[in-house]
Amino acid sequence: MVENIEIKLRDEAKRLLLEKSVDVIIGYETGTLPLTATPCFINSPEEAEKLVFNELCTQNIAKYVHDFITNHKNSQKRVKPEDRKKKVIGVVARGCTTRSLVLHLQERQYDRDEVHIIGVPCEGYLDRKKLEKTLQGEEILDGNVENGQIKVKTAAGDKTLSRADLLADNCRACRFNNPIISDIIIGSPAPAMNPDNEYEKINEFEKKSLAERWAHFTKEMGKCLRCYACRQACPSCYCPTCFAEQSQPQWVGIGDDESDTQVFQCMRLFHMVGRCVDCGSCVSVCTTGVDLRNYLKKEEKDCWELFGSRAGSSLEEMPPLGKYGEHDKQDFIYNP
Ligand code: SF4
Ligand code: SF4
Ligand code: SF4
């Protein structure tokens, strides 16, 4: 099925580039390391052969759509208004990618006609950290995924692992694995994942006292190096200057003081309220394994329970913090 999708995907990409309906297509190509795929930019019909779409495509590439359009718009600032040109970005988008695109559109980051969405049904991606843990640190020399099994070659010998066991947690519980919006869909809809238990861990977390929650947070953030890879990978993190890098005023210090790390993480988490699409990109790039998803998912649960909203799940329904209603609840406002 995957190969069939890839053939159709390449054909569609070629057609769009030949007809000049798009200026570039952002998708995935095979990575340089075994069992990896990496984002790529396809500029010509010939390059379309590079495109792949499979369970190794980890990153949410809506991030690049935003960056590409923003950089192009910035480059046009000195061009006379009548000479300015729009660029159309083609993007290979699964469910969570389209949720980020919806969010960008709702936040007026670009217009709908600046993005051409090639929707692909998705059955989840592999969690590299789970794979490496299962292999107990053995270097992966080669590998492929076939019929639901991962065949890996390591110095210690060949191993066959189950794809289902190694799916990322966010994929396992994904509600939106088919595109929310698209200009074309490649392939048939993917079967539903298993969202019934999506808040299992959060329900446990909520049973903790405030002191226990704080202990959990400080322990997790104690692992954080403040490398900012999570922020860089996140399609919802696009402020031109992150508060963490502002110097006038300086909100957080740049040293390794643990309170600065906690403030950075708290601020980023608050910026994600109603805006996190649970794509797992931040989690997958974190080299020290900070359990970011615990807090993001708690916010998502609150947002659903309080406002009946899931980020990017509908183009028509504005995010809760992006709209004002005369009868909005105000009981959270208090005098300290
Ligand atoms: S979160 Fe959903 S749409 Fe995104 S990669 Fe996982 S299964 Fe696919
Ligand atoms: S990627 Fe991980 S280590 Fe880096 S800033 Fe984010 S949480 Fe901290
Ligand atoms: S916070 Fe993480 S999971 Fe949420 S949208 Fe950003 S990268 Fe995806």
Whether pLDDT at 140 is above 90: yes
Which whole number is the average pLDDT over 187-194? Answer: 93
Which whole number is the average pLDDT over 216-225? Answer: 96
DSSP string, 94-122: -HHHHHHHHHHHHTTSS-GGGEEEEE---
| Residue 266 near residue 91, CB atoms below 8 Å | no
Ligand 1: does its nearest atom lie under 6 Å from the Cβ of 275? no
Q: What is the pLDDT of residues 24-34, one digit of tens each?
A: 999 999 999 99
Q: What is the pLDDT of residues 230-289, one digit of tens each?
A: 999 999 999 999 999 988 888 898 888 999 999 999 999 999 999 999 999 999 999 999
| Residue 120 near residue 94, CB atoms below 8 Å | yes
Query: Residue 137 C-alpha to ligand 1 middle, in angstroms?
Result: 26
DSSP bridge partners of 142? 153
Ligand nearest to the CA of 66: 3
Percent of residues, the chain, with pLDDT higher than 70: 98
Question: What would the two tokens of residue 144 be?
Answer: 């492929």
Which residues, 6+ apart, have CB-to-CB distance to 194 below 8 Å? 172, 173
Query: Residue 175 C-alpha to ligand 1 middle, in angstroms?
Result: 8
Which residues, 6+ apart, have CB-to-CB distance to 49 below 8 Å? 10
Of residues 331 and 173, which shows the higher confidence score?
173
Q: Which atom of ligand 1 is nearest to the CA of 177?
A: 3
Q: What is the pLDDT of residues 49-70, one digit of tens each?
A: 999 999 999 999 999 999 999 9
Whether pLDDT at 149 is above 70: yes
The per-residue pLDDT for 335 is: 62
Ligand 3: does its nearest atom lie under 6 Å from the Cβ of 48? no
The per-residue pLDDT for 336 is: 58
Query: Residue 140 C-alpha to ligand 3 middle, in angstroms?
Result: 27
Q: Which of 65, 230, 271, 282 to mutate for ligand 3's pocket (most ligand atoms within 8 Å of CB)?
A: 282
User: From CA 120, how far away is CA 94, in angstroms rounded?
Assistant: 5
User: From CA 117, how far away is CA 134, in angstroms rounded?
Assistant: 36
Show the ligand 2 pocket: residues with CB < 6 angstroms.
Answer: 224-230, 285-286, 288, 290, 292
- Band of pLDDT at residue 1, cut at 50, 70 and 90: very low
Residue for token pair 């031109």: 240
Ligand nearest to the CA of 285: 2
Query: Residue 169 C-alpha to ligand 2 middle, in angstroms?
Result: 18
User: From CA 211, how far away is CA 219, in angstroms rounded?
Assistant: 12
pTM of the full predicted structure?
A: 0.95
Which whole number is the average pLDDT over 34-56? Answer: 97
Percent of residues, the chain, with pLDDT higher than 90: 87
Ligand 3: does its nearest atom lie under 6 Å from the Cβ of 279? yes
